Amino acid sequence: MKKKRKLIKRKDFKKIHRGLIPWSRTEFNKVTQEFHGLLQKPKDDWNLKRHQFSILDDETGKVENYQINPFNNSAQFSELMLKKYPDETEFMAHSLRHAEIMMFINDSKEDLIKEGFLIQEEKELLIKEELIESLCVLPFSFKILNEDGEEEFHFSYQEVVDRTWKTIGKKNTDSKEKLE
């Protein structure tokens, strides 16, 4: 008999989507290293079980069936996170935070390089541990409305910079001078 997963209470939903459930830098690093290690392995070592699910459109009554491609890196990352965080709230919170961290670094890459938080080497991008530490604990306080008019929350660039400089031990004014 399959174990039923409980639905997330509305309170947890808000905590997850506003980044109010912190993650440790150590755990982030472990997950990242484990995932990169998995990507280096032959695909035969991956969990290649196909997952299928259906979505019912309440308005039309139409059911759409989906199948997750197990060769997709995102599917493998989700498998890894599910093993590491069997609690649904933790799984969703840390998975979303990981996605937000990656999106923030990608979207702010040039500015973060200027701040000295990222170092672009020939074949890789080095990330200062203090930046990761800040991104693992800061809430998503930058609010936008998506095209459907729904609120989305992301990292505030200035909060990240201020927290990272504080973690490094510099004054906030140093980062403001660098931005000007």
pLDDT, tens only, 6-61 = 444 456 888 988 999 999 999 999 999 988 877 776 666 656 666 665 666 677 77
Neighbouring residues of 180: CB distance < 8 A, sequence distance ≥ 6 = none
Q: What are residue 151's DSSP bridge partners?
A: 145
- The predicted pLDDT at position 127 comes to 94
Task: Tokens for 44, please give them.
Answer: 């035969």
The mean per-residue pLDDT over the stretch 67-95 comes to 79
pLDDT band of 2, cuts 50, 70, 90: very low
Look-up: residue for tokens 């989305």? 152
Higher pLDDT, 2 or 141: 141
What percent of the residues of the chain are helix, what percent strand, and what percent coil, each to the nearest 5? 55, 15, 35
pTM of the predicted structure, to 2 decimals:
0.74
Return left, alpha or beta for 169; rule: phi > 0 is left, psi -120 to 50 is alpha, else beta: left
- The predicted pLDDT at position 76 comes to 75
Domain limits of the chain? 10-46+72-170
**Amino acid found at 28:** F
- The predicted pLDDT at position 46 comes to 54
- The predicted pLDDT at position 4 comes to 45
**Alpha-carbon torsion, ordered 75, 19, 171, 128, to 10 deg:** -10
The mean per-residue pLDDT over the stretch 141-169 comes to 93
Cα(142)–Cα(134) distance, integer angstroms: 15
- The predicted pLDDT at position 96 comes to 93
- The predicted pLDDT at position 143 comes to 94
- The predicted pLDDT at position 171 comes to 44
- The predicted pLDDT at position 153 comes to 94
For the chain, percent of residues with pLDDT exceeding 90: 47
pLDDT band of 5, cuts 50, 70, 90: very low
Task: Tokens for 126, please give them.
Answer: 């080095």
The mean per-residue pLDDT over the stretch 98-110 comes to 96
Phi, psi of 31 (to 5 degrees): -60, -45
